Amino acid sequence: MSSAWTVCNREQRLHRFLSVAMLPFTDAASVRGQVAGIGFGANIGPALQTLQDAWRRVQQHPRIHPLTISSPYRSRPVDMNSTNWFINAVALIRTTLPPQALLHLLQTIEEEFGRTRILSGSVPQDRTLDLDLLFYADCRMQTETLTLPHPRMAKRLFVLDPLAEIAGDLILPSTDQPVRTVRDSLRLGAANQQVEKSCWPS
Task: Show which residues are catalytic.
Answer: 115, 127, 130, 132
CA distance 16 to 12: 7
CA angle 196, 14, 92 (to 5 degrees): 60
CA distance 183 to 105: 28
Show the DSSP H helices in 113-171 as ranges: 157-167
What are the CA-CA distances from residue 95 to residues 109, 186, 197, 198 (Å)?
A: 16, 30, 28, 28
CA distance 62 to 39: 20
